[in-house]
Amino acid sequence: MNARGALGRYGEDVAVRTLTAAGMRILARNWRVGRVGEIDVVARDGDVLVMCEVKTRRPGPFGHPSAAITADKAKRLRRLAELWLAEYGGPPPGGVRIDLVGVVLPSRGAARVEHVRGLS
């Protein structure tokens, strides 16, 4: 695994701990559909199915993790959610939500985590 992959994996681990601490149940990590893409974390928040995109950054030129969620990325996440539902039996009673967990790793100190609920 290269440095970028290790950074992403660490960010996903932080995100999973954050989501679990918030009472969510993790159903899957890195769920992939061929060339369509990947859902970083699939979780349940009560009766809501949550598809989480995790973006991990170090301070620098790439900006805040939320800047990585473009209109095209949001569209791809919605498509992946549809594919998950088709494979696993449709939406739960509470519906589906797409969230972002942004993880910023400063040069010193603990990671800063921001959980944005309901991107699209």
Whole-number pLDDT of residue 3: 64
Helix, strand, coil proportions of the chain in percent (round to 5)?
A: 35, 35, 30
Q: What is the pTM of this model?
A: 0.86
pLDDT digits (tens, 9 = 90+) for 22-61: 999 999 999 999 888 999 999 999 999 999 999 888 766 6
- Domain range for 16: 3-116
Whole-number pLDDT of residue 91: 85
Number of domains in the chain: 1
Q: How many helices (H) and strands (E) does the chain have?
A: 2, 5
- Whether pLDDT at 68 is above 80: no
What CATH number is given to the structural domain containing 40? 3.40.1350.10
pLDDT digits (tens, 9 = 90+) for 89-113: 888 899 999 999 999 888 787 888 9
CA distance 96 to 42: 10
Q: How open is the CA angle 16-109-105, to the nearest 5 degrees? A: 50
Strands 48-57 and 96-104: parallel
